[in-house]
Structure 1
Amino acid sequence: MKIINSASLDGIDALNINVESTFTKGLPSFTIVGLISTSIQESKDRVKSALLMNEYKFPPLKITINLSPSDVKKKGTHFDLAIALQIALYDLKKDVFCDFHVFGELSLNGDIKDTSTIFPLVLSLAKNKRIKKLLVCEESAKYISNIPNLEIYVVNNLKNAIEFFNLKNNDDKEKYKYKSTTLEYETIDINDEKFYYDKKYEEDFSDVIGQENAKFAALISAAGNHNLIFEGSPGCGKSMISKRIKNILPPMSLEEILEKAKLQALDYKEIDFVPIRTFRNPHHSSTKSSIFGGGSTNAKIGEIALSNNGILFFDELPHFSKSVLEAMREPLEDNKILISRVNSKTEYLTKFIFVASMNPCPCGNLLSSIKQCRCNEAEIQRYKNRLSDPFLDRIDLYVVMNDTSNDSKNTVSSEELHQNVINAFIAQKNRGQSELNGKLKDEDIKKYCILDEESSFLFQKAIISYELTFRSINKVLKVARTIADLNNNKDITKADLLKSLSFRRR
């Protein structure tokens, strides 16, 4: 019995699947078993057509294809090529498949096509060092070639795939080998690791008139991965600033770029390898399942998982449902979330920057110097009560924005802000931090967020005066550490700490 290596998605991770086959005497038939989905069941017709169109005859035997292990639910059309090869090469006595993983969907004429699951599968296997050689079509290879330490062989139709495995000499297979790809972007090297970034700014901070305090808060958020809320009247620039943060975020490692591409594939989006972090902007009417992921049998990926290593932006924050806002507390605190269903349990990483904007009252004019507020005290309080204290306690930076006057001047561009972020990023990495300041664990805060003598005395007074909670203390320290990095200070100074305290929620 010959075995071809393949895989299937379980949530966002890959499970090794063996494609096995037997050919026994009996009435000619073709069966696929192993707890398979409809898409795999339909592969019988695609495989039959592809083989017959390429002049390969089905053996007059009882054919059984098993996808093992048989107690795991399998889905995807990428098993087509492996199943067809088992039938086309059934009479070969030598096991020619040994170290190869095979992926590809078959068209009716035998051409091999890419699928949205192949890249996530290969990346997951490669991260766990469970794959070395693989056979795919050229369309799949274009994406997979960005994954390091893989031997990729390319065939574009079933006939070429059969010829490939019929080759007796391994040297003859070299002509099918695909060259690995290198990313052509700006890079910096820190501690023998390469980080990539892009200097294209489609939306520039120079377009934002005034609002210097809000722009500085956006800079802090980007430099240290801090959660941020803007509160202000309609038209003051809350959403405008929020949407420009993604272009000044820190450089990305190759692992982060590949993870972003994996999430794009799972979201059925066009894969790119541009080192600009993800920006997700769900509408306030979105369901809880679409935000967090869900499904009655299999857990499906939601907005918070798709935002990993990027930004999750909630516009009109109080209009999101209470259940969504309260459920945000776990991913904001732990940077991960477990989605549990009867038949599956999937853990997603949620290391995103949470950015939100809100009006100060239902009509939006409470802070306006031009328009008069039409809300009474009860309406304003009810509006504010949509956001609970435990939820707001997860926010690092809270910025109240006033109206912008017409004579305000532009003072900073995205390129300038991005360079400041890169400098702060280098400082954090050179300290040996595995996470940026906003995502530091409690034990790392004591190690990296060091106050000088003057700021330490001031902070003790602030803790008592403002009645800061343990979480609030950590938030203030982490923000102060980022401000110190932006100011190129080794330790947190009094000025850094005072600025950090000014951004806390009052």
Structure 2
Amino acid sequence: MKSLKCACLNNKLHLINIESTLLRALPGFEIVGLASVTIKEAATRVKSALAALRDFTLPAMKIVINLSPSDVKKDGSHFDLAIALLVLLQKEHFDSDYFVFGELGLDGKLRSSAELFSVLLFLSTHVKYAKILLPKDIALKAAMIPNFEVYAVDNLAQARDFFLNDEFRDSCKVDTVHPIFNNVIEIAGRKFVPNLNYELDFIDIKGQERAKRASMIAAAGMHNILFEGSPGCGKSMSAKRLPYIMPPQSLDEILLASAYESLNSNSSDFSAIRAFRSPHHTSTRSSIFGGGSGMAKIGEVALANGGVLFFDEFPHFGKQILESLREPLEDYKINISRVNSKVSYDTKFLFVAAMNPCPCGNLFSKNSTCICTDKEIAKYQNTISSPILDRIDIYCAMGEIGQDDAPSLSSKQMSDMVLNAFKHQIERGQSELNGKLSDADISKYCILENSAKEVLNRAITSYNLSQRGINKTLKVGRTIADLRDSQIISKSDIMESLSYRMKR
């Protein structure tokens, strides 16, 4: 028996071991192991490609191909090359420690398939290192994945020579590095890729110093934030600039973000800028959270993983959508269950919401008159339930921009301060940023001085804080302390953290 490695996506990645053997029976070609119609058709493509090799004849025996594990449904034409090689090399000794992918033409030429790059991206999140044989038309792109050793061939004959000829194998290696991986920083032995692109800059926002401070705290600790203010005060501008000042991503985060994006589009690339997703308030529940009538498709909350999920006009989203936010905001994971499939996606995103203070938007305005009644204002504001508001770490009320307001901090300056705070979190040994700390980690890392404890105890009563609210206050205080290079949370840190709590 001979074997090679492969993989497939069936809601999640499955590592597949392809085995082959020859049986003394009537000549035939059988593929077993819950193979789809596409894989069953591989028998015809493989036999035709083998027939195109003048120095090879199919053995007069029964060829059996097993796709293991046998209880996992497999699909995809990228199994062709591995199946053909196992038939071709049945009597040879070769290194089976390779992942082999590629669709065969009837003449033996190789090509990639539509979902192959998605498979490779998800494979990169499951294995720390892998040797991979691919068609040349996708090898250059795949070689940019940091933990892959990629080899490329044009056709089945070259693939055979690859396993039998060491000199030819070395010539097939593809060496290339994606530009963003040339600029890697190391913090406490871990590698991160910083963003050097500030296409959207906070320098464009005049005034709004409190909003900029709140944005910097939110970015440094990945805290959920709600902006409330009159139309045109800079709520959306602040939200759209957040990804540019957020902490650098690890290599694993970049690979996972690209893997998720590949499920949503035909092309995806590696980016040092974190994801930014902004669904419209008329979007359906399935498009935001994932799902569909058949297969469980990825939604906006999963595509925002590691980045920013922005809900503009927050109260205009449907009640069902707003309440469905509870699970991804609390558990950092969303489970999509359908009759035919069940899939789980990570949802560790920075949630940003923006809303007007009233239906007409002029409640905070000094220049325009609010035409809303108290009843209309209360109805508008009560659209957002207390459990959802309790999951917001930072509330920032924004006033109108004045004529004398001037630009201040740039995104580059804010990014440098965020990076400094990020280093403190990593050097403490945290596996998560402050905003995503577990209860156990809060007790371990959120150390308060005595005066800060007294302030927090008084605030629990005056602010009517829930246990979640207490934890949110501590986590924001931890980030504020990191921004001023302190390992201890001071009284002023807690007081600033409390100033961002929403009271209604």
Give TM-score scaled by structure 1 length: 0.90
SS at match of 2:191: strand
Which of residues 209, 220, 236 in structure 2 aligns to 1:223? 220
Instruction: Tell me the residue number matched to 2:458.
Output: 461
How far did 1:184 drift? 4.3
Distance, in Å, in 1 between the alignment partners of 2:357 and 2:49 is 63
User: Which sits farther off after the overlay, 378-387 or 407-416?
Assistant: 378-387
User: 2:442–2:471: 8 Å Cα contact kept in structure 1?
Assistant: yes
Q: Over residues 349-396 of structure 1, what are the superposed CA-to-partner deviations in whole Å (9 max), with x where a residue is unaligned?
A: 111111111122223232223333333333332222221111111110
Instruction: Tell me the residue number matched to 2:304.
Output: 307
SS at match of 1:338: strand
Note if 1:245 corresponds to 2:242: yes
Give, as a single letter, the amino acid of the residue that structure 2 aligns with 1:34: G
Note if 1:236 corresponds to 2:222: no
User: Which sits farther off after the overlay, 97-106 or 215-224?
Assistant: 97-106
Note if 1:451 corresponds to 2:465: no
Unaligned ranges ≥5, structure 2 = none
Distance, in Å, in 1 between the alignment partners of 2:96 and 2:128 is 13
User: Which sits farther off after the overlay, 308-317 or 451-460?
Assistant: 451-460
Question: 1:54–1:358: structure 2 CA closer, same or farther, 3 Å change rule?
Answer: farther
Note if 1:78 corresponds to 2:78: yes
Q: Over residues 267-311 of structure 1, what are the superposed CA-to-partner deviations in whole Å (9 max), with x where a residue is unaligned?
A: 225332232111111222222222222245543322212211111
How far did 1:207 drift? 0.8
User: 2:125–2:256: 8 Å Cα contact kept in structure 1?
Assistant: no
Instruction: Tell me the residue number matched to 1:102.
Output: 100
SS at match of 1:13: strand
Instruction: Tell me the residue number matched to 1:6.
Output: 6
How far did 1:230 drift? 1.0
User: 2:161–2:168: 8 Å Cα contact kept in structure 1?
Assistant: no
Note if 1:177 corresponds to 2:176: no
SS at match of 1:421: helix
Give, as a single letter, the amino acid of the residue that structure 2 aligns with 1:313: F
Instruction: Tell me the residue number matched to 1:391.
Output: 388
Note if 1:289 corresponds to 2:297: no
Q: Over residues 205-259 of structure 1, what are the superposed CA-to-partner deviations in whole Å (9 max), with x where a residue is unaligned?
A: 1111221111111111100000011112222111111001001110111111222
Distance, in Å, in 2 between the alignment partners of 1:130 and 1:473 is 38
SS at match of 2:7: strand
Note if 1:339 corresponds to 2:305: no
Instruction: Tell me the residue number matched to 2:270.
Output: 273
SS at match of 1:270: coil
User: 1:53–1:109: 8 Å Cα contact kept in structure 2?
Assistant: yes
User: 2:16–2:67: 8 Å Cα contact kept in structure 1?
Assistant: no
How far did 1:264 drift? 2.4
Distance, in Å, in 1 between the alignment partners of 2:491 and 2:17 is 58
Question: 1:131–1:256: structure 2 CA closer, same or farther, 3 Å change rule?
Answer: closer
Give, as a single letter, the amino acid of the residue that structure 2 aligns with 1:277: R
SS at match of 1:375: coil
Question: 1:13–1:241: structure 2 CA closer, same or farther, 3 Å change rule?
Answer: same
RMSD: 2.8
Give, as a single letter, the amino acid of the residue that structure 2 aligns with 1:84: A
Give, as a single letter, the amino acid of the residue that structure 2 aligns with 1:203: L
User: 1:264–1:271: 8 Å Cα contact kept in structure 2?
Assistant: yes
Instruction: Tell me the residue number matched to 2:16.
Output: 16
Distance, in Å, in 2 between the alignment partners of 1:255 and 1:348 is 15
Give, as a single letter, the amino acid of the residue that structure 2 aligns with 1:78: H
Which of residues 112, 133, 136 in structure 1 aligns to 2:134? 136
How far did 1:172 drift? 4.1
How far did 1:47 drift? 4.6
Give, as a single letter, the amino acid of the residue that structure 2 aligns with 1:496: D
User: Which sits farther off after the overlay, 351-360 or 77-86?
Assistant: 77-86
User: 1:40–1:76: 8 Å Cα contact kept in structure 2?
Assistant: yes
SS at match of 1:226: coil
Distance, in Å, in 2 between the alignment partners of 1:316 and 1:194 is 37
How far did 1:58 drift? 6.5
How far did 1:21 drift? 6.0
Distance, in Å, in 2 between the alignment partners of 1:255 and 1:69 is 26
Question: 1:493–1:180: structure 2 CA closer, same or farther, 3 Å change rule?
Answer: same
Identity %: 50
How far did 1:97 drift? 5.9
User: 2:187–2:426: 8 Å Cα contact kept in structure 1?
Assistant: yes
User: Which sits farther off after the overlay, 333-342 or 183-192?
Assistant: 183-192
Distance, in Å, in 2 between the alignment partners of 1:184 and 1:100 is 24
User: 1:123–1:262: 8 Å Cα contact kept in structure 2?
Assistant: yes
User: 2:229–2:357: 8 Å Cα contact kept in structure 1?
Assistant: yes
Instruction: Tell me the residue number matched to 1:264.
Output: 261
Instruction: Tell me the residue number matched to 2:313.
Output: 316
Give TM-score scaled by structure 2 length: 0.90
Distance, in Å, in 2 between the alignment partners of 1:210 and 1:367 is 16
Which of residues 355, 360, 364 in structure 2 aligns to 1:358? 355
Distance, in Å, in 1 between the alignment partners of 2:211 and 2:343 is 37
Note if 1:442 corresponds to 2:439: yes
Give, as a single letter, the amino acid of the residue that structure 1 aligns with 2:83: I
User: 2:322–2:388: 8 Å Cα contact kept in structure 1?
Assistant: yes
SS at match of 1:456: helix
Q: How does 1:404-423 map to 2 (within 5 A)?
A: 404-423=401-420
Note if 1:202 corresponds to 2:199: yes
Distance, in Å, in 1 between the alignment partners of 2:418 and 2:16 is 41
